[in-house]
């Protein structure tokens, strides 16, 4: 199984229509808090409402998105922009309208999407529902049956989870005397608390409870009914409460409207009337509960009927009986007149909430669903990985390969890369097979894609952003095709990670998190494993140079990668540093790089001579280069592949940066010296602006003296290779 999502920080967007008082809203806030406590970044998008301040007080960002009424189109666009701007990994929509908007936005963006259903809907609507997620979450058996029988969803697509309750926030406590005085309640009264959204379907419970008070007062003369909630029927409920108080000649019914301090309100009660989330909150507070909601009347929740109560989400999702004042009065009277039974049921409720509905269980179940939507771990048996062309970019992906191998230890992982890079991963143990990446020609890509299709891969991971690799991934037939939103032909990807920019470790880790994986190591140090042949070649190559002395062995990497001259330093600068190190410290100098760097290498070490220097540019593959650098005490170079290879082999580097950002693509590990002079014009520079730069002050301002000083600092603390 893949690494736990709790150990892989995701950016999760919860979407719902409103944040007013209600079960869906409290569920969403509860889930958002729990996910945040597990280390995730959680965002919530809605049209707003009274609960926004409570959400934001928890440190969770809220984004106002208006998709009420006929504003679905702008809502889709707003969510789509939010996904990209906030780099969202997965979206969880709650109920119908939020589902439509989220589905359309996520489908266009290539972001994984989960729909949670918090009730039931008429099967008449089955032909208008197009926005199911691959796995749909429900919070009751009734909802599960509704989707399977009424809407025809295959049973394996409907996942039963729980509502959940924060048993630390909702817990038994004595009535708050200050709150009693504030509300005008009589201390010590027998009190029934009913919390609900006063909609057309749920307000009848409040109306029936108000009517029941008149008969109940005959046997429980000090009874008080506290009503909390908002909704379209709120005023009608308040008027009914006023009429009852006038009839009784005292205030027995208190209509408080909407409130956010529900734990304090529940602490006032001896008995609670509720449904869905409210039932669980009351049980967590140690109150006996009468379950009644839009599904009808269930009655007192007891150990012997708990399973039936849960199946209907405590009378919220399924018809269980008619709500009537008589039935309410009978059950309220029984609980209020028998304190021992009320205490027993309260203890049972608290124990049930803790053992079956704790928020930690909710988080585990939802995280498991997210993991399956990010990538179905159970079905991944064959994985394709498409790499970039550059040595440094390949090094950045080593922690990701390690995470893939740890997540799928039994899977067959194939790396697709340039032939000359194979030596850096062939012995790593992270991959089972290496295929050579074709030239940029689409014809070659088509051929490779069709060849890959024969192996029937389950998942393709594209670190490469090229059109040819996206085409290969598509032709491979992999069900999951994961890459970046700024990839060429990104439409061929099923999951597009919402991050843009040049390849760098941060971007790679975003893709790892987008897969729902945990990276046990986030840098490349120590992850490159070399073949015995590469080690022998590297040692032999150094031996045949017959460099004299026992001074430090220092590698110089002056050549830029991929024809990027704007990253280069001066030959004169390298020469001065090399001469000083050879003369003052008896250093032995080795130039490394590509064949194109040979002439530059000869120029740099020419004044030193062959007894203390050699030019190995163009004489090594990347794997052989790693073997050579592993024997060096230090590398001095610009932002290029050899710099990263040396760092990956655990050797310290003096890295010269100018147009590129060392905070993004600098050497990983410890003991390095980075020289970087940020300029007023620095952006950082990106192609094609930099090649047209006439001065390159960012690199020209680096002096041989400071490079030499950095090298000497490293040598002073060196550990011999």
**How do residues 295-316 score in pLDDT, each as one tens digit?**
999 999 999 999 999 999 999 9
Element (H, E) at 15: strand 11-15
Of 49-58, 284-293, 340-349, minimum mean pLDDT range: 49-58
Lowest mean pLDDT among 104-113, 212-221, 276-285, 437-446: 437-446
HSE of 202 in the Cβ direction (CA atoms, 13 Å)? 27
Give one DSSP letter per residue of 556-573, joined into a string.
EE-PPSSS-GGG---HHH
pLDDT at 443: 67
The count of other CB atoms within 10 Å of the CB of residue 56 is: 12
Least confident residue range of 101-115, 149-163, 440-454: 440-454
Q: Which of 145-159, 640-654, 690-704 has the lowest mean pLDDT?
A: 690-704
pLDDT of residue 440: 64
Average pLDDT over residues 498-514: 88
- Please say if the pLDDT value at position 3 is more than 60: no
Is the pLDDT score of 678 beyond 80? Answer: yes
pLDDT at residue 178, as a whole number = 94
> Distance (Å, rounded) from C-alpha 595 to C-alpha 618?
4
Helix (H) or strand (E) holding 405: helix 398-407
- pLDDT confidence of 515, banded at 50, 70, 90? confident
Q: What is the pLDDT of residue 563?
A: 64
Whether pLDDT at 354 is above 90: yes
Average pLDDT rounded to a whole number, residues 107-127: 84
Dihedral angle of Cα 424, 430, 434, 439, to the nearest 10 degrees: -60
Average pLDDT (144-162) is 91
Q: What is the pTM assigned to this prediction?
A: 0.77
- Can you give the pLDDT at residue 694? 67
In which element (H, E) is residue 298 found?
Answer: strand 296-300
Residue 498 has what pLDDT?
85
Tokens of 687: 């192609």
- At residue 591 the predicted structure's pLDDT band, cuts being 50, 70 and 90, is very high
Kindly tell me if the per-residue pLDDT of 496 is higher than 50: yes
Q: What is the dihedral of CA 628, 634, 636, 640, to 10 degrees?
A: 50
pLDDT band at 683 (very low <50, low <70, confident <90, very high): low
Terminal-to-terminal C-alpha distance of the chain: 39
Cα 13 to Cα 65, 207, 512, distances in angstroms: 12, 37, 18
Q: What is the pLDDT of residue 377?
A: 61
Domains in the chain with CATH codes:
5-160 (3.40.50.2000), 177-352 (3.40.50.2000), 378-514 (3.40.50.2000), 538-716 (3.40.50.2000)
Integer CA distances (angstroms), 371 to 363, 473, 615, in order: 12, 22, 50
Going 459 to 112 to 372 to 100, the CA torsion angle's sign is negative
Residue 16: its pLDDT value, please?
94
Between 446 and 444, the more confident residue is 446
Reported as a pLDDT band with limits 50, 70 and 90, residue 502 is confident
pLDDT in tens, 361-398: 999 899 888 887 886 666 789 999 999 888 999 999 99
Q: Could you tell me which residue, 57 or 127, shows the higher pLDDT?
A: 57
DSSP alpha helix (H) spans, 476-621: 505-514, 532-545, 571-585, 598-605
What percent of the chain is modeled with pLDDT above 90? Answer: 68
Per-residue 3-state assignment (H helix, E strand, C coil) for 47-105: CCCCCHHHHHHCCCEEEECCCCCCCHHHHHHHHHHHHHHCCCCEEEEECHHHHHHHHHH
pLDDT digits (tens, 9 = 90+) for 446-471: 888 888 898 899 999 999 988 888 88
| Mean predicted lDDT score pLDDT of the chain | 90
Checking if the pLDDT of 21 tops 50, the result is: yes
Q: For residue 109, what pLDDT is reported?
A: 87
Q: Are 472 and 488 in contact (CB under 8 A)?
A: no
Residue 434 has pLDDT above 70, yes or no: yes
Q: In Å, how far from its chain's centre is CA 389?
A: 28
Task: Give the pLDDT mean for 349-372.
Answer: 91
Q: Check residue 15 and give its pLDDT.
A: 97
pLDDT for 4 beyond 50: no
Distance from C-alpha of 424 to C-alpha of 426, rounded to nearest angstrom: 6
What is the reported pLDDT for 688? Answer: 43
Instruction: Phi first, then psi: give them for residue 103, nearest 5 degrees.
Output: -60, -50
Question: Residue length, the chain?
Answer: 721
Number of other residues whose CB lies within 10 A of the CB of residue 105: 29
Is pLDDT of 121 > 90? Answer: no
What average pLDDT does this structure show over 339-358? Answer: 96
Helix, strand, or coil (residue 610):
coil
């Amino acid at each position: 199984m893949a690494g736990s999502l709790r150990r892989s920080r995701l950016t999760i967007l919860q979407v719902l229509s409103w944040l007013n008082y209600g079960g869906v809203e409290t569920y969403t806030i509860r889930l958002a808090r729990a996910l945040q406590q597990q280390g995730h970044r959680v965002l919530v998008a809605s049209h707003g409402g009274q609960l926004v301040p409570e959400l934001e007080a928890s440190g969770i960002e809220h984004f106002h998105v208006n998709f009420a009424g006929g504003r679905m189109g702008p809502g889709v666009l707003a969510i789509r922009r939010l996904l990209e701007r906030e780099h969202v990994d997965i979206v969880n929509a709650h109920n119908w309208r939020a589902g439509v908007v989220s589905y359309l936005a996520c489908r266009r963006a290539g972001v994984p999407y989960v729909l949670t259903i918090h009730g039931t809907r008429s099967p008449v609507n089955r032909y208008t529902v197009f926005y199911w997620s691959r796995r749909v979450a429900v919070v009751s058996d009734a909802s599960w049956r509704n989707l399977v029988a009424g809407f025809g969803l295959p049973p394996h697509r409907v996942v039963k989870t729980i509502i959940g309750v924060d048993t630390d926030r909702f817990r038994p406590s004595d009535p708050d005397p200050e709150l009693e005085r504030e509300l005008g309640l009589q201390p010590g009264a027998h009190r029934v608390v009913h919390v609900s959204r006063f909609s057309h379907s749920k307000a009848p419970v409040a109306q029936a409870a108000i009517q029941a008070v008149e008969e109940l007062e005959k046997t429980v003369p000090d009874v008080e009914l506290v009503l909390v909630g908002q909704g379209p029927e709120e005023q009608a409920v308040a008027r009914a409460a006023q009429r009852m108080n006038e009839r009784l000649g005292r205030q027995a019914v208190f209509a408080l409207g909407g409130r956010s301090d529900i734990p304090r309100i529940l602490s006032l009660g001896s008995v609670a009337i509720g449904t869905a989330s409210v039932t669980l909150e009351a049980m967590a507070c140690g109150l006996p509960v009468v379950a009644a909601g839009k599904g009808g009347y269930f009655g007192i929740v007891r150990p012997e009927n708990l399973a039936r109560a849960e199946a209907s989400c405590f009378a919220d999702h399924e018809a269980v009986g008619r709500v009537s004042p008589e039935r309410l009065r009978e059950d309220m009277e029984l609980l209020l007149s028998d304190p021992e039974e009320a205490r027993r049921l309260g203890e049972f409720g608290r124990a049930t909430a803790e053992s079956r509905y704790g928020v930690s269980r909710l988080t585990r179940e939802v995280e498991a669903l997210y993991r399956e939507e990010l990538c179905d771990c159970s079905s991944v048996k064959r994985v394709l990985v498409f790499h970039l062309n550059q040595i440094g970019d390949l090094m950045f992906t080593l922690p990701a390969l390690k995470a893939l191998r740890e997540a799928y230890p039994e899977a067959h992982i194939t790396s697709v890369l340039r032939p000359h890079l194979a030596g850096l991963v062939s012995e790593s143990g992270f991959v089972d097979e290496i295929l050579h990446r074709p030239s940029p020609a689409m014809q070659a890509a088509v051929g490779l894609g069709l060849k890959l299709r024969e192996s029937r891969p389950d998942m393709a991971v594209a670190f490469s952003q090229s059109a040819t690799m996206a085409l290969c991934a598509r032709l491979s037939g992999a069900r999951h095709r994961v890459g970046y939103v700024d990839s060429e032909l990104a439409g061929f990807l099923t999951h597009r990670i919402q991050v843009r920019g040049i390849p760098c470790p941060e971007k790679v880790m975003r893709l790892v998190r987008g897969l729902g994986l945990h990276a046990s190591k986030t840098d490349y140090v120590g992850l490159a494993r070399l073949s015995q042949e590469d080690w022998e070649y590297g040692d032999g190559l150094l031996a045949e140079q017959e460099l004299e002395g026992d001074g430090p062995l220092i590698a110089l990497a002056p050549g830029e990668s991929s024809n990027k001259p704007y990253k280069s330093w001066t030959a004169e600068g390298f020469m001065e540093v090399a001469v000083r190190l050879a003369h003052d410290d008896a250093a032995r100098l080795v130039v490394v790089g590509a064949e194109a760097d040979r002439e530059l290498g000869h120029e740099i070490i020419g004044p030193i001579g062959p007894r203390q220097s050699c030019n190995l540019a163009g004489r090594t593959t990347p794997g052989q280069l790693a073997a050579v650098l592993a024997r060096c005490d230090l590398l001095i170079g610009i932002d290029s592949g050899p710099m990263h290879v040396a760092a990956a082999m655990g050797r310290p580097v003096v890295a010269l940066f100018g147009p590129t950002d060392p905070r993004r693509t600098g050497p990983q590990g410890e003991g390095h010296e980075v020289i970087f002079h940020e300029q007023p014009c620095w952006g950082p520079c990106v192609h094609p602006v930099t090649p047209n730069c006439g001065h390159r002050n960012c690199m020209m301002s680096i002096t041989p003296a400071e490079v030499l000083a950095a090298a000497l600092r490293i040598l002073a603390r060196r550990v011999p290779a």
